[in-house]
Structure 1
Amino acid sequence: MTKDAELAALMRRIDRLEAEADIRRIQARYMFLCDTPMPEFGCKDDAERIDLIMALYTEDAVWEGVGEYYDNQFGRAVGAPAIRRHFEGFWGGKTDPALILNCHYLTSEQIHVHADGATADGQWVHMQPWLFSDGKALLRSSRLNNTFRKEPDGLWKITRTRTENVFVAPLPATWASDYPSKSVLMRP
Protein backbone atom coordinates (compact mmCIF):
# COMPACT_ATOMS: atom_id res chain seq x y z
CA MET A 1 0.00 0.00 0.00
CA THR A 2 1.35 3.40 -0.94
CA LYS A 3 1.70 6.26 1.52
CA ASP A 4 -1.15 8.08 -0.25
CA ALA A 5 -3.42 5.01 0.01
CA GLU A 6 -2.48 4.55 3.68
CA LEU A 7 -3.24 8.21 4.37
CA ALA A 8 -6.60 7.99 2.53
CA ALA A 9 -7.54 4.85 4.51
CA LEU A 10 -6.59 6.56 7.76
CA MET A 11 -8.68 9.62 6.87
CA ARG A 12 -11.71 7.39 6.14
CA ARG A 13 -11.30 5.73 9.55
CA ILE A 14 -11.05 9.10 11.30
CA ASP A 15 -14.12 10.39 9.44
CA ARG A 16 -16.09 7.28 10.49
CA LEU A 17 -15.01 7.61 14.14
CA GLU A 18 -15.91 11.31 14.17
CA ALA A 19 -19.29 10.54 12.61
CA GLU A 20 -19.98 7.89 15.25
CA ALA A 21 -19.05 10.33 18.02
CA ASP A 22 -21.29 13.06 16.54
CA ILE A 23 -24.21 10.63 16.23
CA ARG A 24 -23.69 9.38 19.79
CA ARG A 25 -23.78 12.98 21.06
CA ILE A 26 -26.91 13.81 19.02
CA GLN A 27 -28.79 10.77 20.36
CA ALA A 28 -27.71 11.47 23.94
CA ARG A 29 -28.65 15.15 23.57
CA TYR A 30 -32.08 14.22 22.26
CA MET A 31 -32.69 11.99 25.29
CA PHE A 32 -31.30 14.64 27.66
CA LEU A 33 -33.66 17.27 26.24
CA CYS A 34 -36.61 14.88 26.66
CA ASP A 35 -35.94 14.42 30.40
CA THR A 36 -38.26 15.92 33.01
CA PRO A 37 -37.56 18.13 34.80
CA MET A 38 -35.75 19.82 31.94
CA PRO A 39 -32.00 19.71 32.73
CA GLU A 40 -30.80 22.26 30.14
CA PHE A 41 -29.61 25.35 32.00
CA GLY A 42 -31.17 28.54 30.71
CA CYS A 43 -34.00 26.84 28.84
CA LYS A 44 -36.89 29.03 29.90
CA ASP A 45 -39.89 26.98 28.78
CA ASP A 46 -41.14 23.94 26.90
CA ALA A 47 -41.39 25.87 23.61
CA GLU A 48 -37.64 26.51 23.80
CA ARG A 49 -37.06 22.85 24.73
CA ILE A 50 -38.93 21.81 21.58
CA ASP A 51 -36.86 24.27 19.51
CA LEU A 52 -33.67 22.65 20.86
CA ILE A 53 -34.99 19.18 20.03
CA MET A 54 -36.08 20.23 16.54
CA ALA A 55 -32.59 21.59 15.84
CA LEU A 56 -31.42 17.95 15.97
CA TYR A 57 -33.75 16.89 13.12
CA THR A 58 -33.70 17.34 9.36
CA GLU A 59 -36.67 19.08 7.74
CA ASP A 60 -37.78 15.80 6.12
CA ALA A 61 -37.35 13.64 9.23
CA VAL A 62 -39.81 11.00 10.45
CA TRP A 63 -40.69 10.23 14.08
CA GLU A 64 -42.61 6.98 14.55
CA GLY A 65 -43.74 4.54 17.17
CA VAL A 66 -43.95 1.04 15.70
CA GLY A 67 -45.07 -2.40 16.75
CA GLU A 68 -48.19 -3.72 18.38
CA TYR A 69 -48.02 -1.37 21.38
CA TYR A 70 -46.58 1.87 19.94
CA ASP A 71 -48.42 1.98 16.57
CA ASN A 72 -51.56 3.41 18.13
CA GLN A 73 -49.91 5.21 21.04
CA PHE A 74 -47.34 7.32 19.18
CA GLY A 75 -48.20 6.99 15.51
CA ARG A 76 -46.09 8.53 12.77
CA ALA A 77 -45.09 12.15 12.20
CA VAL A 78 -43.51 13.07 8.84
CA GLY A 79 -41.61 16.34 8.43
CA ALA A 80 -40.42 18.90 10.95
CA PRO A 81 -43.83 20.63 11.46
CA ALA A 82 -45.54 17.30 12.26
CA ILE A 83 -42.72 16.25 14.60
CA ARG A 84 -42.97 19.61 16.37
CA ARG A 85 -46.72 19.06 16.91
CA HIS A 86 -45.92 15.58 18.27
CA PHE A 87 -43.63 17.08 20.93
CA GLU A 88 -46.04 19.90 21.71
CA GLY A 89 -48.46 17.18 22.83
CA PHE A 90 -46.03 16.11 25.57
CA TRP A 91 -45.16 19.45 27.16
CA GLY A 92 -46.62 22.80 27.99
CA GLY A 93 -49.20 21.72 30.55
CA LYS A 94 -51.12 19.75 27.93
CA THR A 95 -51.10 16.44 29.77
CA ASP A 96 -53.22 15.56 32.77
CA PRO A 97 -51.84 14.27 35.00
CA ALA A 98 -48.61 16.17 34.42
CA LEU A 99 -45.35 14.31 33.86
CA ILE A 100 -43.10 15.36 36.76
CA LEU A 101 -40.18 12.93 36.37
CA ASN A 102 -38.74 11.17 33.35
CA CYS A 103 -35.10 10.22 32.81
CA HIS A 104 -33.73 8.35 29.78
CA TYR A 105 -31.04 5.69 30.12
CA LEU A 106 -29.39 4.49 26.89
CA THR A 107 -27.62 1.17 26.40
CA SER A 108 -26.73 -1.50 23.80
CA GLU A 109 -25.46 1.07 21.32
CA GLN A 110 -24.69 0.14 17.74
CA ILE A 111 -23.79 2.86 15.22
CA HIS A 112 -23.16 2.09 11.56
CA VAL A 113 -21.82 4.80 9.27
CA HIS A 114 -22.68 3.83 5.69
CA ALA A 115 -20.10 3.59 2.92
CA ASP A 116 -21.14 6.99 1.53
CA GLY A 117 -19.92 8.61 4.76
CA ALA A 118 -22.98 10.87 4.80
CA THR A 119 -25.68 8.56 6.20
CA ALA A 120 -25.82 6.24 9.18
CA ASP A 121 -28.11 4.19 11.35
CA GLY A 122 -28.01 3.45 15.04
CA GLN A 123 -29.74 1.13 17.43
CA TRP A 124 -30.12 1.52 21.17
CA VAL A 125 -32.22 0.14 23.99
CA HIS A 126 -33.47 2.74 26.40
CA MET A 127 -35.27 2.61 29.69
CA GLN A 128 -37.06 5.42 31.45
CA PRO A 129 -38.98 5.80 34.69
CA TRP A 130 -42.08 8.00 34.46
CA LEU A 131 -43.74 9.67 37.44
CA PHE A 132 -46.96 11.66 37.10
CA SER A 133 -48.48 14.34 39.32
CA ASP A 134 -51.28 11.97 40.40
CA GLY A 135 -48.73 9.45 41.77
CA LYS A 136 -48.98 7.00 38.87
CA ALA A 137 -45.58 5.63 37.92
CA LEU A 138 -44.25 3.47 35.07
CA LEU A 139 -41.01 1.96 33.91
CA ARG A 140 -40.75 1.87 30.10
CA SER A 141 -38.22 0.26 27.84
CA SER A 142 -37.95 0.69 24.07
CA ARG A 143 -35.71 -0.27 21.19
CA LEU A 144 -34.62 2.60 18.98
CA ASN A 145 -33.70 2.18 15.33
CA ASN A 146 -32.76 5.66 14.13
CA THR A 147 -31.18 7.09 10.99
CA PHE A 148 -28.92 10.09 10.52
CA ARG A 149 -27.59 12.25 7.70
CA LYS A 150 -24.64 14.60 7.42
CA GLU A 151 -26.05 17.88 6.20
CA PRO A 152 -24.28 20.21 3.71
CA ASP A 153 -23.03 22.35 6.63
CA GLY A 154 -21.20 19.26 7.96
CA LEU A 155 -23.53 18.69 10.93
CA TRP A 156 -25.14 15.31 11.52
CA LYS A 157 -28.89 15.35 12.12
CA ILE A 158 -31.60 12.81 12.84
CA THR A 159 -33.61 11.71 9.78
CA ARG A 160 -35.71 9.10 11.57
CA THR A 161 -36.57 8.26 15.15
CA ARG A 162 -38.18 4.84 15.26
CA THR A 163 -39.17 3.43 18.65
CA GLU A 164 -40.63 0.03 19.48
CA ASN A 165 -41.93 -0.99 22.90
CA VAL A 166 -40.00 -3.64 24.84
CA PHE A 167 -42.15 -3.38 27.97
CA VAL A 168 -44.16 -1.06 30.18
CA ALA A 169 -44.28 -1.96 33.87
CA PRO A 170 -46.28 -0.17 36.55
CA LEU A 171 -44.27 1.01 39.52
CA PRO A 172 -45.61 1.62 43.01
CA ALA A 173 -46.59 5.24 43.65
CA THR A 174 -43.91 5.51 46.33
CA TRP A 175 -41.01 4.09 44.30
CA ALA A 176 -39.32 7.53 44.18
CA SER A 177 -39.31 9.36 47.48
CA ASP A 178 -37.04 12.26 46.53
CA TYR A 179 -36.82 14.00 43.15
CA PRO A 180 -36.21 17.59 42.06
CA SER A 181 -38.87 20.00 40.84
CA LYS A 182 -36.22 21.52 38.58
CA SER A 183 -32.67 20.70 37.57
CA VAL A 184 -29.86 22.95 38.79
CA LEU A 185 -26.84 20.96 37.54
CA MET A 186 -26.29 22.81 34.30
CA ARG A 187 -24.57 26.12 35.02
CA PRO A 188 -22.99 28.45 32.45
Structure 2
Amino acid sequence: MANDDLMQRVERLEAESAIRALAARYCFAIDNHDLAAVRELFTEDARVYSRDGVMEATGRDAIIRQYEERFRVLGPSNHVSHDHWIRIGGAADGATGTLSAHAELWRNDQMMVTALRYEDEYRREDGVWRFAQRELAFLYYIPVADYVRVLGEEKRMRAYAEPAPADYPERLSTWRDYR
Protein backbone atom coordinates (compact mmCIF):
# COMPACT_ATOMS: atom_id res chain seq x y z
CA MET A 1 0.00 0.00 0.00
CA ALA A 2 2.74 2.48 0.91
CA ASN A 3 4.56 1.65 -2.33
CA ASP A 4 1.40 2.35 -4.36
CA ASP A 5 0.98 5.75 -2.70
CA LEU A 6 4.64 6.59 -3.26
CA MET A 7 4.40 5.52 -6.90
CA GLN A 8 1.33 7.73 -7.47
CA ARG A 9 3.11 10.69 -5.90
CA VAL A 10 6.21 10.15 -8.07
CA GLU A 11 4.05 9.84 -11.21
CA ARG A 12 2.28 13.09 -10.32
CA LEU A 13 5.60 14.91 -9.81
CA GLU A 14 6.90 13.55 -13.11
CA ALA A 15 3.74 14.73 -14.88
CA GLU A 16 4.03 18.20 -13.35
CA SER A 17 7.70 18.39 -14.33
CA ALA A 18 6.92 17.38 -17.92
CA ILE A 19 4.11 19.96 -18.13
CA ARG A 20 6.42 22.71 -16.82
CA ALA A 21 8.97 21.70 -19.48
CA LEU A 22 6.21 21.87 -22.12
CA ALA A 23 5.44 25.47 -21.11
CA ALA A 24 9.15 26.38 -21.25
CA ARG A 25 9.55 24.76 -24.67
CA TYR A 26 6.61 26.84 -25.91
CA CYS A 27 8.36 30.09 -24.91
CA PHE A 28 11.57 29.09 -26.70
CA ALA A 29 9.77 27.81 -29.81
CA ILE A 30 7.71 31.02 -30.10
CA ASP A 31 10.75 33.27 -29.62
CA ASN A 32 12.74 31.23 -32.15
CA HIS A 33 9.84 31.26 -34.65
CA ASP A 34 10.38 27.48 -34.81
CA LEU A 35 7.11 26.27 -36.33
CA ALA A 36 8.22 22.62 -36.39
CA ALA A 37 8.80 22.76 -32.63
CA VAL A 38 5.49 24.60 -32.09
CA ARG A 39 3.64 21.88 -34.02
CA GLU A 40 4.98 19.17 -31.70
CA LEU A 41 3.73 20.99 -28.59
CA PHE A 42 0.04 20.53 -29.48
CA THR A 43 -2.31 17.58 -29.81
CA GLU A 44 -3.71 16.97 -33.28
CA ASP A 45 -7.11 18.40 -32.20
CA ALA A 46 -5.77 21.23 -30.02
CA ARG A 47 -7.34 24.66 -29.80
CA VAL A 48 -5.42 27.95 -29.34
CA TYR A 49 -7.37 31.16 -28.85
CA SER A 50 -7.31 34.49 -27.09
CA ARG A 51 -9.99 35.79 -24.76
CA ASP A 52 -10.26 38.97 -26.85
CA GLY A 53 -11.18 36.91 -29.92
CA VAL A 54 -8.19 37.94 -32.04
CA MET A 55 -6.70 34.44 -32.05
CA GLU A 56 -8.79 31.31 -32.80
CA ALA A 57 -7.48 28.07 -34.29
CA THR A 58 -8.36 24.41 -33.88
CA GLY A 59 -6.11 21.60 -35.09
CA ARG A 60 -2.35 21.57 -35.55
CA ASP A 61 -2.42 22.85 -39.15
CA ALA A 62 -4.69 25.77 -38.25
CA ILE A 63 -2.57 26.57 -35.20
CA ILE A 64 0.58 26.69 -37.33
CA ARG A 65 -1.14 28.96 -39.89
CA GLN A 66 -2.20 31.23 -37.02
CA TYR A 67 1.38 31.48 -35.73
CA GLU A 68 2.69 32.09 -39.26
CA GLU A 69 0.37 35.11 -39.46
CA ARG A 70 1.41 36.35 -36.02
CA PHE A 71 5.11 35.97 -36.82
CA ARG A 72 4.63 38.15 -39.92
CA VAL A 73 3.89 41.16 -37.71
CA LEU A 74 6.25 40.33 -34.84
CA GLY A 75 9.97 40.91 -34.72
CA PRO A 76 12.20 39.52 -31.99
CA SER A 77 10.49 38.54 -28.75
CA ASN A 78 11.36 37.25 -25.30
CA HIS A 79 8.65 35.21 -23.55
CA VAL A 80 9.22 34.48 -19.87
CA SER A 81 6.96 32.20 -17.87
CA HIS A 82 6.42 32.76 -14.16
CA ASP A 83 4.15 30.94 -11.73
CA HIS A 84 2.57 27.75 -12.99
CA TRP A 85 -0.38 26.23 -11.16
CA ILE A 86 -0.93 22.69 -12.46
CA ARG A 87 -3.94 20.58 -11.57
CA ILE A 88 -3.69 16.90 -12.46
CA GLY A 89 -7.14 15.67 -13.45
CA GLY A 90 -9.06 12.55 -12.53
CA ALA A 91 -7.83 10.86 -15.70
CA ALA A 92 -4.16 9.88 -15.56
CA ASP A 93 -3.50 11.49 -18.92
CA GLY A 94 -5.18 14.87 -18.39
CA ALA A 95 -4.41 18.06 -16.51
CA THR A 96 -5.21 21.76 -16.48
CA GLY A 97 -3.04 24.72 -15.62
CA THR A 98 -2.77 28.46 -15.26
CA LEU A 99 0.53 30.06 -16.21
CA SER A 100 1.48 33.70 -15.71
CA ALA A 101 3.98 35.22 -18.12
CA HIS A 102 5.51 38.35 -19.60
CA ALA A 103 6.81 39.02 -23.07
CA GLU A 104 8.92 41.73 -24.61
CA LEU A 105 8.33 42.08 -28.34
CA TRP A 106 8.87 44.19 -31.39
CA ARG A 107 5.48 44.99 -32.94
CA ASN A 108 4.11 47.93 -34.93
CA ASP A 109 7.64 49.30 -35.32
CA GLN A 110 8.05 49.72 -31.57
CA MET A 111 9.08 47.91 -28.42
CA MET A 112 6.08 46.50 -26.58
CA VAL A 113 5.56 44.55 -23.37
CA THR A 114 2.73 42.32 -22.28
CA ALA A 115 1.63 40.58 -19.11
CA LEU A 116 -0.55 37.58 -19.78
CA ARG A 117 -2.01 34.39 -18.46
CA TYR A 118 -2.44 31.10 -20.23
CA GLU A 119 -5.36 28.88 -19.25
CA ASP A 120 -4.32 25.43 -20.44
CA GLU A 121 -5.58 21.92 -20.86
CA TYR A 122 -2.87 19.27 -21.21
CA ARG A 123 -3.11 15.73 -22.50
CA ARG A 124 -0.54 12.94 -22.42
CA GLU A 125 -0.37 11.03 -25.69
CA ASP A 126 2.03 8.14 -26.15
CA GLY A 127 3.82 9.25 -22.98
CA VAL A 128 4.27 12.87 -24.15
CA TRP A 129 2.44 15.82 -22.57
CA ARG A 130 1.03 18.33 -25.05
CA PHE A 131 -1.33 21.28 -25.09
CA ALA A 132 -4.90 20.22 -25.86
CA GLN A 133 -6.14 23.78 -25.38
CA ARG A 134 -4.43 27.11 -24.73
CA GLU A 135 -6.27 30.36 -24.01
CA LEU A 136 -4.35 33.64 -23.84
CA ALA A 137 -5.64 36.48 -21.64
CA PHE A 138 -3.90 39.83 -21.25
CA LEU A 139 -3.43 42.17 -18.30
CA TYR A 140 -1.80 44.62 -20.72
CA TYR A 141 -0.15 44.73 -24.15
CA ILE A 142 1.43 48.15 -24.55
CA PRO A 143 4.27 50.21 -25.96
CA VAL A 144 7.12 50.44 -23.44
CA ALA A 145 6.61 54.22 -23.25
CA ASP A 146 3.15 53.63 -21.71
CA TYR A 147 4.39 51.22 -19.04
CA VAL A 148 4.74 53.74 -16.19
CA ARG A 149 1.02 54.54 -16.09
CA VAL A 150 -0.68 51.50 -17.62
CA LEU A 151 -2.13 49.81 -14.52
CA GLY A 152 -4.08 52.96 -13.73
CA GLU A 153 -5.97 52.74 -17.02
CA GLU A 154 -8.73 50.42 -18.21
CA LYS A 155 -7.75 50.30 -21.89
CA ARG A 156 -4.48 48.41 -21.54
CA MET A 157 -4.68 46.48 -24.83
CA ARG A 158 -2.75 48.59 -27.34
CA ALA A 159 -1.32 46.06 -29.76
CA TYR A 160 -3.97 46.85 -32.37
CA ALA A 161 -5.37 49.95 -34.04
CA GLU A 162 -7.78 50.90 -31.23
CA PRO A 163 -7.02 50.62 -27.50
CA ALA A 164 -9.33 48.15 -25.74
CA PRO A 165 -10.05 47.02 -22.18
CA ALA A 166 -7.80 44.31 -20.77
CA ASP A 167 -9.01 40.74 -20.26
CA TYR A 168 -8.36 40.75 -16.52
CA PRO A 169 -8.67 41.51 -13.66
CA GLU A 170 -11.65 43.84 -14.13
CA ARG A 171 -13.67 41.20 -15.99
CA LEU A 172 -13.20 38.53 -13.30
CA SER A 173 -16.20 37.94 -11.06
CA THR A 174 -13.97 37.91 -7.94
CA TRP A 175 -12.60 41.32 -8.86
CA ARG A 176 -16.07 42.78 -9.50
CA ASP A 177 -17.50 41.25 -6.31
CA TYR A 178 -14.69 42.72 -4.22
CA ARG A 179 -15.12 46.16 -5.73
TM-score, length of structure 1 as denominator length: 0.73
Deviations 1:139-186 (A, max 9, x none): 1111111111111x21111101111111122214xxxxxxxxxxxxxx
Q: Distance in 1 between matches of 2:15 and 2:44?
A: 20
1:178 alignment partner in structure 2: none
Q: Deviations over 1:115-143 (max 9, x none)?
A: 22210011111111112483x12111111
Flag structure 1 segments of 5+ consecutive residues without an equivalent. 39-45, 173-188
Q: 2: CA distance between counterparts of 1:168 and 1:116?
A: 36
1:160 aligns with 2:133: yes
Larger Rg computed on CA atoms:
1
What's the counterpart of residue 30 of structure 1?
Answer: 26
TM-score, with structure 2 as normaliser: 0.76
Partner residue of 1:81? 61
Q: Does 1:113 align with 2:113?
A: no
- What is the CA–CA distance in structure 2 between the aligned matches of 1:63 and 1:100, rounded to whole Å? 21
Q: Report SS of the residue matched to 1:117.
A: coil
Q: Size of the alignment, in residue pairs?
A: 146
Specify every segment of 5 or more residues in structure 2 that has no aligned partner in the other structure, as ranges. 146-179
Identity of aligned residues (%): 27
Give the match's secondary structure for 1:77: strand
CA RMSD of aligned residues (A): 1.7
Give 1 or 2: higher helix fraction. 2
Equivalent position of 1:182 in the other structure: none
Matched, 1:13 2:9: yes
**Map of 2:143 onto structure 1:** 170
CA distance in 2, matches of 1:133, 1:164: 20
The CA deviation at 1:27 is 0.7
Letter of the 1:33 partner, please give it. Answer: A
**Paired AA for residue 19 in structure 1:** A
Alignment of 1:50-69 (within 5 A): 50-66=35-51
Q: Give the aligned partner of residue 143 of structure 1.
A: 117
After superposition, give the CA deviation of every residue in 1:12-36 in whole Å (9 maximum; x if it has no partner).
101100000000000110011111x
Counterpart CA distance in 1 for 2:139 and 2:19 is 23
